[in-house]
Structure 1
Amino acid sequence: MKKYKMKNKHFFVLTIIPVSVFLSVNQAFADDFFDPAFLSFGENTVSDLDLSSYEKDDQLPLGEYYVNISVNSRFNSEELITFYQDKENKLAPLLTPLQLMSFGVNIKDTPYLKDLPEDKPVINLSELIPDYKFTFNENKLDLLFSFPQIVMRNKDNGSTDPLLWDDGVPALILNYNIMGGKTGSNGTKSENLFTQLYGGLNFQAWRLRMNASNSYYKSTSDGKTTSNNNHDINNVRLYRDIKSLKSNLKIGEIFPSLDIFESFPIKGISLSSSNDMIPESLRGFAPTITGYANSNATVTVSQNNNVIYQTYVSPGPFSIDDIRQSQLSGELEITITEADGTVRKQLYASSGLPVMEREGGFKYEASSGEYNSKNSKKKSFLLGAFSYGLPKNITVYGGALISEKYYSTVMGVGTSLGKFGALSVDITTSDTTPENTHQREKGQSYRIKYAKNMLSTGTTIDLAAYRYSTENYHDFNEINNFQYTDNAWANGKQRSSLRLSVSQQLGKYGSVFVAGNREDFWDNKTVNNNLSMGYNGSLNNINYSLSYSIEKKKGDNNTWPEDRRWTANIQIPLSVMSNNEFAKNSSASYSLNGSRNASTTNNLGLRTSFLDNKVGLSLNQDYSHNSDQTNNTNLNANYTGNITNSSVGYSYGNNYNSLNANINGTVVLHEKGVIFSKQAGNTALVLIDAPGAGGTKINTGLSDINSRGQALVFAGNPYNKNSVALDVTTLPDNVEVDSSVINVYPTKDAVVLAKFKTKQGYQVLFTLSHNGSELPFGTIVSAEGDNTNSGIVGDSGQVYLSGLPAEGTILAKWGNSANQSCRSNYNLKKDSTSIDDDNHFIKEVSLQCQ
């Protein structure tokens, strides 16, 4: 028997409530005989009804049930589980190794289980896993599993068994973006068309990707026409993951993965560790928290009065090293609650930087190839880099880059200073011989980074960084791009730079920020200074912001020209003034932009959307205070559909007008055909296959299933569980699904298949009788040839079935003897009437069961 999500509440009550009442009565007489005569209705007796399958709490009929699964007190999924009768004649779930892996059981290290095929059912699991237990609530269809921690991947909180990772189906993916326009200004007319394509091919674990673009421009002025047409193909690369190494292999036009050296373009090959393949709880830096428990205790980690981590520990010393990276930085409160209720607390301050790793964490990269940029030298090179987390919240990192007449090394260390923040220091050396001078030049570049987050005050020092480079230091970009002259490095060669960014939260009053940077250069007097500050706030859904910036640049003549810019913005939802439908989806805005060296511009705008935000309209009016008193009007419309995004805009002002349009989306060619979707970008995709479910909405809210029963949605969490759910309330009337949720575990940029098992057919309410009497309450009725499509007879001999063909046979059984079953043929086109209940049409049929 299966549990289906009923769309009709009346029939749900009709069939389910009587059974629930019956089961609750049965629980009250747990081990006693229950007289079926108590279920008699009028003159009909049911004394021959076999209730043995209901006389115990766990004795529903054997079969398949859609159940809500929780593992070790955490909800896991909703799945179809087969139940069998175990050695103690109790109803027990029949699980496969693949299902156990999805529950977090460490199959590969569990004796006997590790040698079984993934789809082989495991009988008497409790004999293979000591202390394994389950509880099945047949009324709510809740299945609770309890596995001992020793067989779980509990060390990697949030991890997914690599055996679940899905490379997806073969597919050709194409993202397109096409934009074009026409402009007329002062007698000159121009046209432009830009086409950008991004995509490639997926086959097993391999991914081929490339970018292609074409730009066309045409201009006519004074009777003369000029035009040009340029096209380009770049970033051609082939890559795949190496699961056993938790690494990525990339070949082609790529960039270094680790932020150890200055980034530069590569044409070659690279092998590097994959952050995506590491459990979320072990990514990046987080402190290792140690302590001692006197009993079986609960350890709770809180930050800013919010619980961010909790676990159970055994008596003795404990170590916690799997706090998520996003939950670090700031003061942590550690609470140890012993078994007798005794509570002990301690404070632990922590801060981190992007380069840092937790204890034992390791990242690496090995690359080889040539520098890849137009109009530059293309020096061949070898590169190796790493970062490693040591005890005491220390990370060491470094690397080496070797090329013709060039050698560079990096060595650095990062550490958490507790409540004082986090600090990293590194030195990069270079040793090169310029081709024109043939004189060896050695140099160094020193860098310091600092970060601090004070949650109690809301102050964040996002990044303070200082770099100083000696005159003879050269990075790999410089030696490939600069021309070799007598003074090759003098023009624009940076000597030092300082950056600082600080933000302060003001609670309900918003936030403020200050950011600045300073840089100077060798062999010239240029100094760039920039300072910016701003405020952001919100009141009753009205958003507003202010910003001010100063840019000062010292030139060779010792002058300090400066530019000052300021902006003010406010956005007001019209719903603050009215509750009508238009106001709920509309907003007005005003912005002021000014500059010391340019004009001041005012902008007034109105935006609205309708059709579930699929269509948007905006109107903006600009007015500039300059000598020409410029006025500009902009009209824009955009549409977000199931298969594409598109927009069109028109602008006009003093002596000019322009019209532009844009369309973008994604096309995927797969083994079952072609599917169109909104632009997906560089991410994993889920190809939904739900036959007959056209028009059904998906939980992402971004698209609906098309007429062929397919849809394409994004999976933004590679190597982890991504849940795809159908909104069953939007299913067609003649379609139901076994399960509305499917979990997928895509690898990077995979196209994985999520196949929903649908039932297409009629929903029917049968009223059944046998030998002149209604079928007894509790009779199991199923469609012939489909034992999984079944129901339980309720009051008045009625039972609800769905997914039925127009003609067929149903079977009824209320005991194990030959005279406790019957069958009947039906023809819905001849024998039925239709019931309209909440706009869902259900057939009603009365039959004599023979």
Structure 2
Amino acid sequence: MFISTGTSVRGRWLSPVLLLVVIGTAFAEENADLDFNPTFFNDSRGRAVDVSAFRKGNPVIPGVYKVDVYLNDQWLGQEPLVAKPSRTGGGIYCFSTEQLSRWGVDWKAMAAQAPAGVGQLDTQCVDFAQWPDAARLQVEISDLRADLTIAQAYLLRRSRGEVDPSRWDSGITAGFVNYRASMNQSQGEGMTQSQSYLGLATGLNLGEWRLRHNGGYRAQSRRGVAMAGDYQTINSYAEHDITAWRSQLSLGQYYTPGELFDSVPFIGAQLSSDDRMLPDSQRGFAPQVRGVADGNATVTIRQGNNVLYEKTVPPGPFIIDDLYPTSYAGDLQVSITQANGNVRRFVVPFASVTQLIRPGTSRFSLAAGRHRNDDLSQGPAFAQGTYQRGLSNVVTAYSGSQLADGYASLLLGSAVSTPIGALGLDLTQSRTTGLAQRKADNGNGQSYRLSYSELVNYSKTHFTLAAYRFSSENYLTFNDYAQLRSQADGVAPGRPRSRFQMNIDQPLAEGWGSVYLSGASQNYWAGKRGSDMTYQAGYSNHYRWGGVSLNVSRSQALNGNYQNQYMVSVSLPLGGPRGSGYLNLSSSVRDSRTLSSQVSYSAQAGSRNELNYNVSASNDRQEGVASRSAAVLGQYRASKVNLEAGLSSSSGYRQTNLGASGSLVVHSGGVTFSQSQGDTFALLSAPGAQGAEVDNGLGVNLDRKGYAVVAGLVPYRENRVSLAPRGIANDVELEVSSNVTSPRSGSIVRLDFATRKGTPILLTLTRSDGAMMPVGAPVLDVHGAQLTQLGQGNRLFLRTEKATQTLQVVTGDKPGQRCIAEVDIPQPAGQQATGYIQLSTTCHAP
């Protein structure tokens, strides 16, 4: 029987149980017993439905529920909610004090203001009914939603994005290896040559300490003769958080910060502020490498003699913005090696702009050690210190000093926030006395730097970095001094005289696209190099039918010659939403002597777009000589590794390349492989849930041991990692599908996802005397632990690992008001189309 709810909800009908839920929720807070007229609650056969379980409100099944939590109407995420039976009957929902602290609730102040008669606070289950005037918790268990309302007096004041340091997770004892391997083989002009590269970023975490090593191995062969391989160490160091000072302690081979002085590679010790530990509202440039590849090309990025990065890119413009942090110290030398063996090189200068910091905050660094450069016989010992202080909303003052035997420098400067942008001006004075081989370079020198950064609101012009530096002839940086000091031949390096660096982005009127300009220019006082210059400018716009871009670049090669390149490209989308691709047409002219035209098609495939591929063809004409080429490049993102392969063929040349990248984490449970790379990891553990998909993992699944690795977590911030049950066996259930962690930088945190293994059963009970049993009646095991509750039609759902399960159904409040059912589960249960098996049995009186 169903009851019409009247004209206010015309055409809608509510079942008796749903009506009880609505009424029970409305009166639950009064804790008064409710009596329902049984005349209105009959089943389809006219039998009365026992609804006595709803007399004290909605029945509460004890356990832990994963619900969406809202605090004062602000979503906090999915959190565990505890359900417990209450002393007055029914049940209560509650959270722990740890959760309240994490959400910014001052539960200690609440406990101090508890009304008279309230006992000791249960830290694992706070009953908000004890504070009727300060707190209120409303739970809609059918929607898995909990709304918590807390008076403002009991909320802590926190900065936006702040995570309490007590929640920063140092992780487990474990090690990891990030790897990027590539192999290229070229054939042309009767000669075959190959080269291989393996880049490694490794680490071992021991308690609060993090040990790191970065390096790379390169080997090559020519005409079938292997040449000696070479392993280059970029750096090895140990790190430890100094939480009270919001800083990092680094020991070993490291780099000084580059905000004020040029970054110095050294071996020694450093204590430096880490802005990542600050809240978002209190936080104050890493280089990007852009270029254009004429065909499948290998991009190699070096810093000094160290190879930092190597990757094969498809034809067209590219951008590389995922360099390891160890590379943020000095100019980058970029080479683009085409399939036909042609190599283009350019330099990406890097000098970060001085940043304003908030009033009342400070930033510092202290370093001591020995200058590190493999090309020098022995670097000088030195000490360096820098300090920045926000004096007001407008002015930031900063200073620094470098001291070594025969060298000293002092920097003074200030950054000012003005209506036209942020300006920084500083002066560095150097004094050199320790150059016995080049006494002419001894003496005093000065360097002046002006920097500017601003977003011009009315025109939307974004100056991400504009800086100018001028240095006198006798000015030496500490890196210059270390190089001159170790040179016995007395040949001085080219010392910068002036440098100008700028990046501008300018959106045009709506529908007209945007333009950008970036570049750097530098000249020298002495040495073989007279000047360096590189810039790029471009225009791009998107239309309904596709996109258009124009690019112009000019760079100066190491031999002093200039290279100019002009490129126009058109991109056309093809196909539907799934498996769609892009047809790209481009044409470029270089130095008025080389004309290149390209056509390429790129697309993704797979249920999760795990396969990316690019097919291209080009026609080049250089000084009247024409050549044609074709290339194909594929990249596959597997759960445990990223793979890539390419083939290029042109007039007289042929090149093949293979590559693989990923990471592995060694922990107490074994070795877990992953496609993702990073320095801060989450190790997921869900026993028995192999095959489950990681929502944050872009195709990562739990392995056969129930482990998976997710990299790229944001340190000192809340990171949510979730599992989807897709792919797991029917007899396994994820009791928790989401976890939140706030890892320290470089940590490997373990996230445990509780699972429950057992056969899923939908059971229909029939009472031996034919009577109906109460809806919502508790269903217990032989030990009296509640497993579930009875639903409509005497049905219940449970999961069990046993071949035989004994159930007790509590049918009333009096002793003996219960029945017992014996359930035999078929073995093996097998896979069902519904995901569960349906059984029926009789419930007998004890």
TM-score (norm 1): 0.81
2:463 maps to which residue?
Answer: 461
1:415 maps to which residue?
Answer: 416
Deviation readout 1:215-267 (Å, 9 max, x if unpaired) = 2222128xxx4622222334111112122222111111111135111112111
Q: Classify the secondary structure of the residue corresponding to 1:479.
A: helix
Cα separation, 1, equivalents of 2:574 and 2:206: 50
2:542 maps to which residue?
Answer: 538
Cα separation, 2, equivalents of 1:670 and 1:396: 46
Kindly indicate whether the alpha-carbon contact (under 8 Å) linking 1:178 and 1:664 is maintained by their aligned counterparts in 2: yes
Query: Partner letter of residue 391 of structure 1?
Result: S
Match of 1:171 among 156, 169, 174: 174
Kindly indicate whether the alpha-carbon contact (under 8 Å) linking 1:586 and 1:608 is maintained by their aligned counterparts in 2: yes
Cα separation, 2, equivalents of 1:397 and 1:609: 50
Deviation readout 1:435-458 (Å, 9 max, x if unpaired) = 235575111111111122123322
Query: Partner letter of residue 654 of structure 1?
Result: S
What is the identity percentage for the equivalent residue pairs of Structure 1 and Structure 2?
A: 23
1:158 maps to which residue?
Answer: 161
Q: Classify the secondary structure of the residue corresponding to 1:481.
A: helix
Cα separation, 1, equivalents of 2:407 and 2:109: 48
Q: How big is the shift at 1:672?
A: 0.9
2:791 maps to which residue?
Answer: 793
Cα separation, 2, equivalents of 1:482 and 1:514: 36
CA gap 1:192/1:833 in 2 versus in 1, 3 angstroms: closer
Q: Classify the secondary structure of the residue corresponding to 2:276.
A: coil
CA gap 1:355/1:802 in 2 versus in 1, 3 angstroms: same
| Higher relative contact order (CA closer than 8 Å, sequence separation 6+) | 1
Q: How big is the shift at 1:384?
A: 1.0
1:846 aligns with 2:841: yes
Kindly indicate whether the alpha-carbon contact (under 8 Å) linking 1:359 and 1:391 is maintained by their aligned counterparts in 2: yes
1:482 maps to which residue?
Answer: 484
Q: Classify the secondary structure of the residue corresponding to 2:398.
A: strand
Kindly indicate whether the alpha-carbon contact (under 8 Å) linking 1:39 and 1:777 is maintained by their aligned counterparts in 2: no
Kindly indicate whether the alpha-carbon contact (under 8 Å) linking 1:836 and 1:842 is maintained by their aligned counterparts in 2: no
Deviation readout 1:349-369 (Å, 9 max, x if unpaired) = xxx975110112211111111
Give structure 1 stretches of 5+ with no counterpart: 1-15, 286-351
1:23 aligns with 2:21: yes
Cα separation, 2, equivalents of 1:111 and 1:245: 31
Kindly indicate whether the alpha-carbon contact (under 8 Å) linking 2:61 and 2:84 is maintained by their aligned counterparts in 1: no
Cα separation, 2, equivalents of 1:580 and 1:205: 47
CA gap 1:832/1:372 in 2 versus in 1, 3 angstroms: closer
2:403 maps to which residue?
Answer: 402
2:315 maps to which residue?
Answer: none
1:624 maps to which residue?
Answer: 620
Cα separation, 2, equivalents of 1:776 and 1:395: 72
Q: Classify the secondary structure of the residue corresponding to 2:20.
A: helix
Query: Partner letter of residue 732 of structure 1?
Result: A
Cα separation, 2, equivalents of 1:563 and 1:396: 41
The aligned length equals 747
Deviation readout 1:630-665 (Å, 9 max, x if unpaired) = 222212222110001111222222222222211122
Cα separation, 1, equivalents of 2:830 and 2:703: 31
Q: Classify the secondary structure of the residue corresponding to 1:452.
A: strand
Query: Partner letter of residue 455 of structure 1?
Result: N
Cα separation, 1, equivalents of 2:710 and 2:140: 34
Match of 1:720 among 713, 717, 727: 717
Match of 1:758 among 751, 755, 760: 755
Cα separation, 2, equivalents of 1:833 and 1:669: 35
CA gap 1:742/1:541 in 2 versus in 1, 3 angstroms: farther
Match of 1:697 among 672, 693, 717: 693
Cα separation, 2, equivalents of 1:785 and 1:367: 64
1:450 maps to which residue?
Answer: 452
Q: How big is the shift at 1:153?
A: 3.9
After superposing the two structures, state which structure 1 stretch, 179-188 or 730-739, moved more.
Answer: 730-739
Q: How big is the shift at 1:19?
A: 4.2
Cα separation, 1, equivalents of 2:89 and 2:573: 64
Kindly indicate whether the alpha-carbon contact (under 8 Å) linking 1:768 and 1:774 is maintained by their aligned counterparts in 2: no
1:595 maps to which residue?
Answer: 590
1:383 maps to which residue?
Answer: 384
Q: How big is the shift at 1:733?
A: 2.2
Query: Partner letter of residue 792 of structure 1?
Result: L
Q: How big is the shift at 1:482?
A: 3.0
1:133 maps to which residue?
Answer: 136
Q: Classify the secondary structure of the residue corresponding to 1:650.
A: strand
1:548 maps to which residue?
Answer: 552
Q: Classify the secondary structure of the residue corresponding to 2:479.
A: helix
Kindly indicate whether the alpha-carbon contact (under 8 Å) linking 1:781 and 1:793 is maintained by their aligned counterparts in 2: no
Q: How big is the shift at 1:87?
A: 8.6
CA gap 1:389/1:695 in 2 versus in 1, 3 angstroms: same
Kindly indicate whether the alpha-carbon contact (under 8 Å) linking 2:48 and 2:772 is maintained by their aligned counterparts in 1: no
Cα separation, 1, equivalents of 2:398 and 2:654: 56
Kindly indicate whether the alpha-carbon contact (under 8 Å) linking 1:202 and 1:208 is maintained by their aligned counterparts in 2: yes
1:470 maps to which residue?
Answer: 472
Q: How big is the shift at 1:127?
A: 6.4
Kindly indicate whether the alpha-carbon contact (under 8 Å) linking 1:828 and 1:843 is maintained by their aligned counterparts in 2: no
Q: Classify the secondary structure of the residue corresponding to 1:358.
A: coil
Kindly indicate whether the alpha-carbon contact (under 8 Å) linking 1:782 and 1:811 is maintained by their aligned counterparts in 2: yes
After superposing the two structures, state which structure 1 stretch, 228-237 or 742-751, moved more.
Answer: 228-237
1:824 maps to which residue?
Answer: 821
Q: How big is the shift at 1:25?
A: 4.0
Deviation readout 1:301-325 (Å, 9 max, x if unpaired) = xxxxxxxxxxxxxxxxxxxxxxxxx
Query: Partner letter of residue 793 of structure 1?
Result: G
Deviation readout 1:792-848 (Å, 9 max, x if unpaired) = 321x211222355442122212332123222222112189999744xx343332332
Structure 1 segment 202-213 matched on structure 2, within 5 A: 202-213=205-216
Query: Partner letter of residue 392 of structure 2?
Result: P
Cα separation, 2, equivalents of 1:356 and 1:92: 51
Deviation readout 1:84-140 (Å, 9 max, x if unpaired) = 467987854443332222222357998879xxx999425556769982333333553
Query: Partner letter of residue 567 of structure 1?
Result: M
Q: How big is the shift at 1:489?
A: 8.2
Match of 1:773 among 771, 774, 780: 771
CA gap 1:198/1:551 in 2 versus in 1, 3 angstroms: closer
Structure 1 segment 52-67 matched on structure 2, within 5 A: 54-56=55-57, 60=60, 63-67=63-67
CA gap 1:250/1:832 in 2 versus in 1, 3 angstroms: closer
CA gap 1:829/1:276 in 2 versus in 1, 3 angstroms: same
Kindly indicate whether the alpha-carbon contact (under 8 Å) linking 2:414 and 2:425 is maintained by their aligned counterparts in 1: yes
Kindly indicate whether the alpha-carbon contact (under 8 Å) linking 2:691 and 2:726 is maintained by their aligned counterparts in 1: no
Query: Partner letter of residue 774 of structure 1?
Result: M
Match of 1:668 among 660, 665, 669: 665
What RMSD, in angstroms, separates the aligned Cα atoms of the two structures? Answer: 3.5
Cα separation, 1, equivalents of 2:354 and 2:154: 33
1:427 maps to which residue?
Answer: 427
1:678 maps to which residue?
Answer: 675
Kindly indicate whether the alpha-carbon contact (under 8 Å) linking 2:682 and 2:713 is maintained by their aligned counterparts in 1: no
Query: Partner letter of residue 583 of structure 2?
Result: A
1:441 maps to which residue?
Answer: 443
2:98 maps to which residue?
Answer: 98
Match of 1:609 among 604, 608, 632: 604
Cα separation, 1, equivalents of 2:122 and 2:616: 60
CA gap 1:546/1:670 in 2 versus in 1, 3 angstroms: same
Cα separation, 1, equivalents of 2:436 and 2:159: 52
Query: Partner letter of residue 476 of structure 1?
Result: F
Query: Partner letter of residue 454 of structure 1?
Result: V
Query: Partner letter of residue 140 of structure 1?
Result: D
Cα separation, 2, equivalents of 1:368 and 1:527: 33
Q: How big is the shift at 1:483?
A: 5.9
Kindly indicate whether the alpha-carbon contact (under 8 Å) linking 1:427 and 1:447 is maintained by their aligned counterparts in 2: yes
After superposing the two structures, state which structure 1 stretch, 527-536 or 209-218, moved more.
Answer: 527-536
Kindly indicate whether the alpha-carbon contact (under 8 Å) linking 1:72 and 1:147 is maintained by their aligned counterparts in 2: yes
1:236 maps to which residue?
Answer: 236
Structure 1 segment 177-192 matched on structure 2, within 5 A: 177-192=180-195
Deviation readout 1:509-549 (Å, 9 max, x if unpaired) = 21012345443322589355555421011112623210123
Give structure 2 stretches of 5+ with no counterpart: 1-13, 114-119, 286-351
